[in-house]
Structure 1
Amino acid sequence: KMVNGVVVAHGRTRSLVEKFERGRFTGSEDQMISVSPEVIADRIKSSTMPKEEPQVSGREPLSLSDVNIMEDLMLNHDVLLSGLRSRLTKLQMVRHLWERNDIKGAIIALKKLPDHSVQADVISVLMEKMEIVTMDLFSCLLPMLVGLLDSKMERHVKMSLEMLLKLVAAFGPTIRLTISAPPSVGIDLHQEERIESCKQCLGQLQQLQAVLPTLARRGGSLAKSALELSLVLRDKHM
């Protein structure tokens, strides 16, 4: 008699097969029975193969490392998105002042923003509009440009060095002449303020000279810009 693909003899053998089918077959009852290869293969496969999660057709199952990578990407995406939104808000504030032709107000607001990326963005615009930069604006820009040299982003440092190079070349002689000029007769508050502003700029430029060798040791384009600025400062007797 056949029972689920197994040839069963009457008596004890039939009892063994029935126990096997009910999952109660033990090693002590290892009697010889005739089982078809297909049944054996199915039994082995179902009992030894680990259970797998259902898979979407055409896709490999996600490993734990894949899941971790996806979580990291989503987290980084949220951080990046938040940073870009904050950057946009700050740029819009500076643009509002700029469009009112309050360039000095925009620079002062920019100095108060602890965001090197926004500062570098505005400086990149100013570099294309050097005709609007006055000595008064230079005195406002200088502290921010020096602070930008501490940025961890090479782009920010290079932008600052390039802007400083333009400003020192343009206003270096004015600073030196204003400070060395003989005192005027009478009281001239505007002249006194101008002299004081030039003295502050000269002091900051002299401090800058001490920073440039460190930047030059970083090599690459930063080293070239730092060396160029150092030569210009010496040439202008800063």
Structure 2
Amino acid sequence: MCTGCCLLADDLNHQADLGQERRTLCLDVWELPTSVDSAVAINDLSVVVDLLNIVNQKASLWKLDLCTTVLPQIEKLLQSKYESYVQTGCTSLKLILQRFLPLITDILAAPPSVGVDISREERLHKCRLCFKQLKSISGLVKSRSGLSGRHGSAFRELHLLMASLD
């Protein structure tokens, strides 16, 4: 093998080892919010994809806190050149919309409460943040809903689910 090929192979092996170390760092700490925060802090979408693929398999793991953290990452995934990243982003967004959009819209539409309710205020803050992030993502979803193929149909489905944001 030529020297350039050996260097390339060594570099690819090193990258694979780094990726595995990053995944291990995130998944060893199996408290989900901490794992997600670690994955986002690493700033490596492949780690975010791996983590989301795990969470997507068990919808009950999704919480409003998780949504506020991963929605900006999902927006990046939806714009990725990698098909698997886009697919994971679409799947995650669909789960969030199905599970949380009714809750978000109900909480935002509710009249203000009388007295001090800290947990309600925190929930309201999270819902406002999620709504803002979802509005940002909805423009991207709308622009990609005209694509053909599997991703096009996924974006069209997401666009329909996001119709209530308009």
Deviation at 1:141, TM superposition (A): 1.8
- Offset at 1:218? 4.4
**Higher-Rg member (1/2):** 1
Match of 2:11 in 1: 79
**CA positional deviation for 1:219:** 2.9
Contact 2:145-2:159 at 8 Å conserved across structures:
no
The answer to whether the Cα contact below 8 Å between 2:142 and 2:155 also exists between their aligned partners in 1 is yes
Partner of 1:140: 69
Once the two structures are aligned, what percentage of the paired residues are identical?
A: 25
Amino acid at match of 1:166: L
Q: Which of 97, 119, 126 matches 1:190?
A: 119
1:20 corresponds to: none
User: Within 2, Cα distance between the matches of 1:229 and 1:203?
Assistant: 16
| 2:45 corresponding residue in structure 1 | 116
Structure 1 residue 173, shift from structure 2 partner: 0.1
Is 1:225 matched up with 2:157?
A: no
Range with bigger deviation, 129-138 or 216-225: 216-225
Note the C-alpha offset of 1:135.
1.6
SS at structure 1 position matched to 2:81: coil
Distance 1:225 1:150, change over 3 A: same
Q: Which has the higher contact order (CA 8 A, sep 6+)?
A: 2
Which shows bigger deviation, 184-193 or 73-82?
73-82
Decide which of 83, 90, 94 is 1:165's aligned counterpart: 94
- The residue aligned with 1:208 is 137
Tell me the distance in 2 between the aligned counterparts of 1:208 and 1:97: 29
CA contact (8 A) 2:146 2:156 kept: no
The whole-number CA distance in structure 1 between the counterparts of 2:87 and 2:3 is 34
Runs of 4+ in structure 1 off by over 4 angstroms are none
Aligned to 1:97: 29
What RMSD in Å do the two structures reach over aligned CA positions?
A: 1.6
User: Cα–Cα, structure 1 residues 219 and 74, in superposed 2: closer, same or farther, change >3 Å?
Assistant: farther
Count how many residue pairs are aligned between Structure 1 and Structure 2.
165
Q: TM-score, normalised by structure 1?
A: 0.65
Q: Distance in 1 between matches of 2:124 and 2:23?
A: 32
Residues 77 and 85 in structure 2, CA contact (< 8 A), matched pair in contact too: yes
Name the one with the larger helix percent: 2
Per-residue deviation, residues 190-222 of structure 1 (Å, max 9, x unmatched): 211111111111111111111124433543211
